[in-house]
Amino acid sequence: MSWEDKVRKVTPYTPGEQPRRTDIIKLNTNECPYPPSPKVAEAIAAFDEDRLRLYPDPAAADLVKALADHYQVDKDQVFVGVGSDDVLAMAFLTYFTAGKPILFSDVTYSFYDVWAELFGIPYKKCALKDDFSLDASDYLQDNGGIIIANPNAPTGLMADLGMIEKIVLANQDSVVIVDEAYVDFGGVSAIPLVEKYENLLVVQTFSKSRAMAGMRIGFAVGSKKLIAYLNDAKFSFNSYTMNHLTIACGKACVEDDLYFKEITGKIVATRERVKKEMAELGFKFPDSMTNFLFVTHPQIDAEELFLALKEEGIFVRYFKKPRIDQYLRVTIGTDAQMDALITFLKEYMKNRSFV
Amino acid sequence: MSWEDKVRKVTPYTPGEQPRRTDIIKLNTNECPYPPSPKVAEAIAAFDEDRLRLYPDPAAADLVKALADHYQVDKDQVFVGVGSDDVLAMAFLTYFTAGKPILFSDVTYSFYDVWAELFGIPYKKCALKDDFSLDASDYLQDNGGIIIANPNAPTGLMADLGMIEKIVLANQDSVVIVDEAYVDFGGVSAIPLVEKYENLLVVQTFSKSRAMAGMRIGFAVGSKKLIAYLNDAKFSFNSYTMNHLTIACGKACVEDDLYFKEITGKIVATRERVKKEMAELGFKFPDSMTNFLFVTHPQIDAEELFLALKEEGIFVRYFKKPRIDQYLRVTIGTDAQMDALITFLKEYMKNRSFV
């Protein structure tokens, strides 16, 4: 026997490219095109480096309190982690132990099945309808837990809150997680429902709407009981995850609500404008409530266009997967970046005589 | 059935107190009494906050390269994580899947059994000898993996490298992890052995000798094959864990080797001096090669002394556990802090007519 026989073999997730080149238009990982709040820079400048010799506050109380105040919940209803991936993985580990299949969509965030496999959680994928909308009846069957990305990724579509509530209500014997990574671009959050449903966990991130992907902050809001279980699991795993600077910067970011509204507003305006222009070029897409569009074109091969864009220095995301291999996920950048994209697309189509 | 029946119930680890008071002498969590390298402050000052809107480099290549250069290994032999707790937990998850009991000491870092239970890994605790030294013969039995803290915590004792090599050699069919959180205070690292043994993983941290507990950086060095498995598991779990600032600060810290030698040298000198003074007061302790002493006194109840010290504003660590409930773990602070401790102890003992 070799030591290798005892080792877990995992097919790693391939994250979107993070090219070191700075001369590109980066529309491939749904980052915010605007810098974080100036309050974040101030927090970094004010930080006393000597504090780094001490462990951070394991409860990240300053950040938790800022979030609790912002979302008008109790501080015992907030959990923070190293990006929403950390929060979600910890939630899978904590809530999905029944041995029954957990349920999620066939076209959704690609980490869900990876975490399930990693933790030995059985799962069942429920097919979205042809238009990528959610079929609530899929979530009325017996299950070990439920996770729904809303708005969904990579489709961009949002299920209305009534449907989410219906699913939560019908599953009082399971934890239902709503992953709202993209909710701040005009979506409607389920956070107000956590007061009503003890089994509902809402997860959000600082990586998109708060322009802090590089700082790694995610959080969850739920009932006190739900959050207590999550904290217990987290403290048994790694007590100190959020470093001093992350806590300080996260707090500063949340407190600057005006800036947050400004940048998300700009992105929504750009998105709506780009929707029109893409539609005029013949692209089809679900009606996105996120900071990206999930586009397909009846006459253009998605992978070919993906490569042509890359050659031009415009990075978008292509998933070679069933149902979505003729789609590209295009992050909403600045107006100038989107203009460059549209200009290229017009040229590309003209050369192929599509228009 | 309630949703709570599907939830994992964990007894959380209780971390050492992180009091917000700054008027105390904090000798309870083995932090460094000196600030991090001035190069770290420079790295923070030089950081461009706008970068925070972008995801960090998932491979943390800058930090990995700095560590590879420092330890003279290939960059494919280095893995980094959010503190050594993150690295170790990921290593448990990756390497210990055989379903056979993994082996570790009965008196050692208290996270090992917690992670094992969390991931469903069976384990067997091997009793240290009466003097807390390791019995190598315990590690010759069939197993699913081995983890040894060396120097050990909370005892402070180091097993010599010959014994470690003997254990690694005898267990070519398992992964052997050596947790060297405290090796930089005069200990001898097993890192040179990774070239010889494909199944050896050495884990270290920036939290003690590098004065960066507040930044959360840990790392592992091993064979390329071993590190590849760890990376695969990590990338499937959470690709982006080390944030931009952590990577920049970690790199700056590793590159300042002179400062590192200076502060660890000072701590070792203080430790050796305190050993003499504690011995003169009648305290007994294993011969520590770490930044703490694990002390007991034949005439003083450890818990009573722990509380008396706390009342005085001197925080040390007390574990109410079998075999060690008459010991206190005392971090080596600055000379002035240790003087205050010794002065208090003399007074305490005088009042009880022990001396």
Same fold, B17-35+258-351 and B38-255: no
The topology (CATH level 3) of A3-35+258-351 is Aspartate Aminotransferase, domain 1 (3.90.1150)
Above 90 in pLDDT, residue B353?
A: no
In the predicted model, is pLDDT for residue B16 greater than 70? Answer: no
Answer yes or no: do A53 and B245 touch at CB < 8 A.
no
Give the mean pLDDT of A116-126: 93
- Per-residue confidence (pLDDT) for residue A16, from 0 to 100: 67
Chain A contact set for B236 (CB, 8 A): 10-13, 114, 118
Residue A354 — pLDDT band, cuts 50, 70, 90? low
How far is it, in rounded angstroms, from Cα B163 to Cα B116? 25
Residue A157 has a pLDDT of 98
Q: Which residue has the higher pLDDT, A313 or B1?
A: A313
Q: What is the average pLDDT across A216-241?
A: 92
Q: What residues of chain A, 219 to 258, have a C-beta less than 8 Å from chain B? A: 225, 229, 231-233, 235-246, 249
Q: Say if A320 is an interface residue toward chain B (CB within 8 Å).
A: no
What's the whole-number mean pLDDT along residues B299-308?
97
H/E run at residue B104? strand B102-105
Query: Which residues have CB under 8 Å from B88's CB, separation 6+?
Result: B111, B115, B147, B177, B179, B203, B218
B263 to chain A, closest Cα gap in Å: 12
Question: Which residue among B5, B13, B118 sits closest to A239, beta carbon to beta carbon?
Answer: B13
Flag whether pLDDT at B355 surpasses 60.
Answer: no
Q: What is the pLDDT of residues A135-190, one digit of tens each?
A: 999 999 999 999 999 999 999 999 999 999 999 999 999 999 999 999 999 999 99
* Chain A nearest-CA residue for B19: A57
Q: Is the CB of residue B84 less than 8 Å from the CB of residue B205?
A: yes
- Kindly report the number of other CB atoms within 10 A of residue A166's CB atom: 16
Give the residue from B55, B62, B88, B121 with the most A CB atoms within 10 Å of its CB, the best one to mutate: B55
Q: Which residues of A touch B171 (CB under 8 A)?
A: 3
With contacts defined as CB-CB under 8 Å, which chain A residues touch B224? Answer: none
Q: What pLDDT, on the 0 to 100 scale, is given for residue A72?
A: 98
Q: How far from B188 is each of A201, A239, B183, B204, CA to CA, in Å?
A: 47, 28, 6, 12
Tell me what pLDDT residue B239 has.
83
Query: What distances in angstroms separate CA B213 from CA A242, A350, B87, B221, one per listed residue?
Result: 11, 58, 14, 19
Q: What angle do CA B345, B350, B352 make, to 5 degrees?
A: 100
For residue A47, give the nearest of B44, B51, B175 by CB distance. B44
- Report the distance separating Cα A157 and Cα B24, nearest Å: 54
CA A326, CA A309: separation in Å to the nearest integer?
Answer: 15
d(CA B83, CA A17): 25
* Predicted complex: ipTM over 0.90: yes
Average of pLDDT values for B294-318?
97
- What is the C-alpha radius of gyration for chain A, rounded to an integer number of angstroms? 21
**Cβ contacts of B11 on chain A, cutoff 8 Å:** 232, 236
A289, two tokens: 């409530």
Residue A11 is encoded by which pair of tokens?
């097919």
- C-beta atoms surrounding A241 within 10 Å: 24
pLDDT at position A13 is: 67
Task: Dump pLDDT digits (tens) for A253-295.
Answer: 999 999 999 999 999 999 999 999 999 999 999 999 999 999 9
Flag whether residue B26 sits within 8 Å of chain A, measured between CB atoms. yes
> Which residues sit opposite B205 in a β-bridge?
B218
pLDDT interval class at B292 (50, 70, 90): very high
Q: What's the mean per-residue pLDDT of chain A? A: 95
- pLDDT band (50, 70, 90) for residue B13: low
Is the pLDDT at A118 greater than 70? The verdict is yes
Sequence ranges of the domains in chain A:
3-35+258-351, 38-255
Q: What is the pLDDT of residue B259?
A: 98
What's the CA gap between A47 and A41, in Å, rounded? 10
DSSP of A181-223 = TTTTTT---SGGGGGT-TTEEEEEESSSTTS-GGG--EEEE--
What is the spatial distance between Cα B103 and Cα B123, in angstroms, rounded to a whole number?
Answer: 6
pLDDT (0 to 100) of residue B23: 85
Residue B353 buriedness (CB in 10 A; 0-12 / 13-18 / 19+): exposed
Percent of chain A with pLDDT over 90: 88
Q: How many CB pairs under 8 A join A and B?
A: 276
Average pLDDT of A2-14?
82
Burial class (CB in 10 A: 0-12, 13-18, 19+), A144: buried
- pLDDT value, residue A11: 75
Q: Please indicate if any CB of chain B lies within 8 Å of the CB of A54.
A: yes
Nearest Cα of chain B lies from the Cα of A216 at a distance, in angstroms, of 6
| Rounded Cα distance, A86 and A170, in Å | 27
Q: What CA–CA distance (Å, rounded) separates A179 from A105?
A: 12
Tokens, residue B39: 């190069």
A291 Cβ under 8 Å from any chain B Cβ: no
The reply to whether B83 touches chain A by the CB within 8 Å rule is yes
| CATH class of the domain comprising B38-255 | alpha beta
Chain A residues with CB under 8 Å of B44 CB are 44, 47, 49, 245
Closest to B342 measured CA to CA, from B301, B314, B322: B314
Q: Residue B218 belongs to what H/E stretch?
A: strand B218-221
Arithmetic mean of pLDDT, B26-34: 97
Report DSSP letters for A96-110, one per residue. Answer: --SSSPEEEESSS-T
**Tens digits of per-residue pLDDT, B78-128?**
999 999 999 999 999 999 999 999 999 999 999 999 899 888 899 999 999
Average pLDDT on B198-214 reads 98
pLDDT in tens, B31-81: 999 999 999 999 999 999 999 999 999 999 999 999 999 999 999 999 999
Give the type of residue at A117: E
Of residues A329 and A11, the one with the higher pLDDT is A329
Chain A residues 105-134 within an 8 A CB cutoff of chain B: 114-115, 118, 120
Confidence (pLDDT) at A239: 83
Q: Among A89-98, A329-338, B7-16, whose mean pLDDT is lowest? A: B7-16
- B9/A229 touch (CB, cutoff 8 Å), yes or no: yes
Please report where in the chains the tokens 């980066």 appear, as a residue.
A26
| pLDDT score at A21 | 74
Task: Of A31, A37, A36, A35, give the one whose Cα is nearest residue A333.
Answer: A31
What is the structure's pLDDT at B18? 72
- Chain centroid to CA B128: 18
**How much is the pTM?**
0.95
How far apart, in whole angstroms, are the C-alpha atoms of residue B148 and residue B230? 18
Residues of A in contact with B142 (CB under 8 A): none
Tell me the pLDDT of chain B averaged across its residues: 95
Residue B168 φ/ψ, nearest 5 degrees: -60, -45
Into which CATH architecture does domain B17-35+258-351 fall? Alpha-Beta Complex (3.90)
Strands A314-315 and A25-26, by their bridges, are parallel
Q: What SS3 state is found at A318?
A: strand
Alpha-carbon span B87 to B89, nearest angstrom: 6
Instruction: Tell if the CB–CB gap between B3 and A174 is shorter than 8 Å.
Output: yes
Res B192 pLDDT > 70? yes
User: How far B353 CA lies from chain A's nearest CA (Å)?
Assistant: 36
Contact status, residue B32 vs residue B263, Cβ threshold 8 Å? yes
Q: Between B2, B199, B240, which is nearest A3 by CB?
A: B199
Q: B-chain residues within 8 Å CB-CB of A31?
A: 53-55
Dump pLDDT digits (tens) for A325-339: 999 999 999 999 999
Of A15, A51, A214, the CB nearest to B53: A214
Residue A237 has what pLDDT?
77
> In 10 A of CB A80, how many CB atoms?
24
The whole-angstrom distance between B280's CA and the closest CA on chain A is: 31
Surface-to-core class of residue A106, CB atoms within 10 Å of its CB (0-12 exposed, 13-18 middle, 19+ buried):
middle
- Chain A residue numbers with beta carbons less than 8 Å from the beta carbon of B243 are 214-216, 243, 246
Q: What is the DSSP string of B303-345?
A: HHHHHHHHHTTEE-B----TTTTT-EEEE---HHHHHHHHHHH
Query: Which distant-in-sequence residues (6+ apart) come within 8 Å of B137 by Cβ?
Result: none
Dihedral class, residue B333 (left if φ above 0, else alpha if ψ from -120 to 50, else beta): beta
Q: d(Cα B220, Cα B214) in Å, to the nearest integer?
A: 19
